[in-house]
A and B are shown apart, each in its own frame.
Chain A
């Protein structure tokens, strides 16, 4: 009894939903940018973080407080209790990427024996999750950097988008420069307007700096690698690694929606197993692990005999077809030990508890004190995407392993824009408020670092010529860089007057515009370090002379 293939099936609906969610996600990442008219548009991607339960759980454990919007993810947990891991199968944009890669890389049906077979290593992700949730309870939220929404946001913002941008732009420029043309026809007349249109309407990067990110190639490489692993096991990331999948798995131990096999229709052909995304089936026609099932319903679609069905059951009803992922005592013990070991390992770095500050660790304005910042920051890269100058970069070593990919200002790439959109755009888009929202007045009063001259390089000091480009660009209205005219002696003994610049530590906010524009492009002669930053008020490098304004969050204890 062969069932005719339906033209429109539940699986088709699912694929449509997945594509729409993925497209929305990418559009919102691209939309996270400075906008003259509607600054709040940049915040829309936070919706995706709001429904991600791992973001809620780790932030709550590590920082003990979260923005209210994140509690929406409780709804995700509720849905998971009812329907199982539909988040993974229907919603997750990273899951969709892996599903597409799996489909592209999947072998012929005859080579697909191991494709959908449950592998006990899939249990590893649960142990890893336990270990890191334990560490999160001690303030170390590191696991969340592997969360699928966080990971895909970072990958799209700092790798996929810039790579696409540069590929298109370099093509356009090379056509423009080398266009031979056929008679009056010029290829550049097509490529130039096309790119300009994309740049204006899709990238929104017109009149903005070109996107560049430190180590973006490595982020792209890691992403390509995880996609490639789908050739070995489909949805490798989702099955073996994803911590959010593991968390949702715990909530779909006994979902209401269950798969059942009609034994009279089943001939144990294992077609369903060969189509299974999550490797939730143990043996042909046998029991099923809802904790590993993405509810993609491809098994139901694949069965030519209509032998599979999804139906609702009472939650606590025992079911012979239901199998759990077993956790061993030894595994749990190892996981506990591993969590504590990881916590310790991260804390080896002197940076970790805010006892010592790396000079290059210039955090965006509104950042909380370092320990609290690290407890909240997801390293999602949204602030870096939003930063209008592109100066916010993923950190690789400045903040230790615990602070991998967290934002750090690299003034040589871009300064902290003085009149940034409606205060600090980085704070507006931050999903966990590791960077607090500031008004423009608060931002102007926030010091993120201090500029200092390297007088062995600075041109008026070291080479006896005028320069003052830093003074000219200093955005503080009454100038944090000032000059003193001095008489210098040149090598022939002649005297000339020259303007030598100085930094006023009271006025300097550490925006780094001076460093950006210094004629020295190798190692600027004026550089910003994290000294004097407002977020560590108890530890000023230079004691303020006057009354300094107290900013929100400043009085928070740290260390």
Chain B
């Protein structure tokens, strides 16, 4: 490439462009056949110790991603990916206050395997970020597989006009939306106000000044989801928080469900999550709001495939 002249360059770029568009066409064809949603459920041994639990989380994540056609569909070569778990609270993994660290570790590894150049992991916690990153186990897990663990700087959040129904503009962390792809990886938790917090609600970690959202949480998080245009989400139900959410803290409120679902349809994932939590789709206003704005469908069974993992 050292002695490339102008002519070579033009010819080369044209060839590249043709190759690129052809590959994306092929990719599109493949996507049509793969299901839009996969639910990986554990059907192995019932009583699991800590190490087996970890293995189960890894396998469930791998199978869920595999089921929707693998990450190559979403991660382009040399791209920068932001993995956005729920690291809301200064809570140990066993208390299900945050996304399971093994799920996060696996998804980061899969991103690298799919060709990502850089994978960043970070959230805007409610508790102290430095503590929550550590106590959730996510910081260590993500670093183990080579991700950059990023602390968001509140002084750098940039006011962005998102032109939603209720939220017209909001300070957003630029690092997050400037990435090539954001993979939303929340956990299913009870939420005193929103009934449940899952995929759509997890986007509240992308912004600042979020405490007025609660006055109409369904519309506000729908506005945010419409702006962010999610391409892939992963919902962690290895352990879920069934009461005193979203913060929790009492082991009695944790249920082990051993399931992970992946989808390109954020509303369908939330609808599935609602059922895992023992609620109906109608209990969660943001699902109806999401359907209203065409973000996805609430009858997740129509698009989902269930995989038993042992």
Interface residues of A (CB under 8 A from B): 34, 36, 169, 173, 176, 206-210, 388-389, 417-419, 459, 465-469, 471-479, 483, 499, 517-519
Please tell me which stretch of B43-51, B242-250, B261-269 contacts chain A, meaning at least 4 of its Cβ atoms lie within 8 angstroms of it: B242-250
Chain A residues within an 8 Å CB radius of B244: 477-479
B191 in the interface (beta carbon within 8 A): yes
Given A467-B214, A471-B192, A208:B249 Cβ within 8 A = no
Contacts of A388 in B (CB 8 A): 128, 130-131
B135 nearest CB neighbor, chain A only: A419
**A208 and B215 contact, Cβ closer than 8 Å, known pairs A169-B155, A176-B156:** no
Closest to A474 in B: B247
B residues 247-262 in Cβ contact with A at 8 Å: 247-250
Q: Compute how far the CA of A465 lies from the CA of B191 in the bound complex, rounded to whole angstroms.
A: 17
Residue in B128, B151, B156, B193 whose CB lies within 8 Å of A499: B193
Inter-chain contact A477/B193, CB cutoff 8 Å: no
Q: How far is the CA of A471 from the CA of B156 in the complex (A)?
A: 28
Given A477-B244, A477-B250, A483-B192: A517 in contact with B211 (beta carbons within 8 A): yes
Would you call A36 and B193 a contact (CB within 8 A)?
no
Min CB distance B157 to A, Å, is 11
Q: By the criterion CB–CB under 8 Å, are B126 and A473 in contact?
A: yes
Provide the residues of chain A in CB contact with B191, threshold 8 Å. Answer: 472
Extra 6 A-B pairs, beta carbons < 8 Å, given A465-B215, A499-B192: A207-B133, A207-B151, A208-B129, A417-B127, A475-B127, A478-B244
The reply to whether the CB of B90 lies closer than 8 angstroms to some CB of chain A is yes
Assess whether B126 is in contact with A209, with CB atoms less than 8 Å apart.
no
- Is B134's beta carbon under 8 Å from chain A? yes
Q: Which residues of B contact A477 (CB under 8 A)?
A: 244, 248-250
**Can you list 14 contacts pairing A with B, beta carbon distance less than 8 Å?**
A34-B130, A34-B131, A207-B129, A207-B130, A207-B151, A209-B128, A210-B155, A417-B128, A465-B216, A466-B216, A467-B193, A478-B244, A499-B193, A519-B214
Interface string of B71-104 (1 = CB under 8 A from A): 0000000000000000000100000000000000
* Cα(A15)–Cα(B155), bound, Å: 40
A519 and B211 within 8 A (CB)? yes
Task: Name the residue on B nearest A468 (C-beta).
Answer: B193
Q: Provide the bound-state CA to CA distance between A48 and B212, in Å.
A: 46
State whether A472 touches B193 (Cβ < 8 A).
Answer: yes
Which 10 pairs from chain A and chain B are nearest by CB? A207-B130, A477-B249, A207-B129, A207-B151, A477-B250, A468-B193, A465-B215, A36-B134, A519-B211, A469-B211
Contact B156 A173 (CB under 8 A): yes
Taking CB atoms and an 8 Å cut-off, the chain B residues in 228-254 that contact chain A are 244, 246-250
User: What mask results when residues 109 to 149 of chain B are scored 1 for a CB within 8 Å of chain A, else 0?
Assistant: 00000000000000000111111011100000000000000
Tell me the B168-218 residues at the A interface (CB within 8 Å): 191-193, 211-212, 214-217
B247 in contact with A459 (CB, 8 Å): no
Complex Cα–Cα for A208 and B90 (A)? 13
**Alpha-carbon distance between A558 and B37 when the two chains are bound, in angstroms:** 66
Q: Distance in Å from the Cβ of B132 to the closest Cβ of chain A? A: 8
Note all chain B residues with C-beta closer than 8 A to A36: 130-131, 134
The chain B residue with its CB closest to the CB of A210 is B155
Q: In the complex, what residue of chain A is closest to B158 when comparing beta carbons?
A: A177
CA distance A477 to B91 in the complex (A): 11
Known contacts A419-B90, A483-B192: does B247 contact A208 (CB below 8 Å)? no
Bound together, the chains give a CA A468 to CA B154 distance in angstroms of: 23
Q: Looking at the complex, which one of B135, B192, B216, B249 makes contact with A468 (CB distance below 8 Å)?
A: B192
Contact of A518 among B129, B211, B250 (CB under 8 A): B211
Question: What B residues does A207 contact at CB under 8 A?
Answer: 128-131, 133, 151
Q: Is the Cβ of B130 less than 8 Å from the Cβ of A472? A: no
* Distance A210 CA – B128 CA, assembled complex (angstroms): 11
Residues of B within 8 A of A206 (CB): 130, 151
Give the CA-CA distance A92 to B151 in the complex, in Å.
Answer: 38
Give the complex CA separation of A389 and B90 in angstroms.
13
Interchain CB contact under 8 A, A517 and B126: yes
The interface centre, meaning the residue of B130, B133, B135 with most chain A CB atoms within 10 A of its CB, is B130
CA distance A208 to B151 in the complex (A): 9
Cα distance, A291 to B154, chains bound together (Å): 53
- Among A209, A419, A471, A472, chain B packs the most CB atoms within 10 A around the CB of A472
**Which residues from A are CB-within-8-Å of B193?**
466-468, 471-472, 499
- Cβ contacts under 8 Å, A476 to chain B: 249
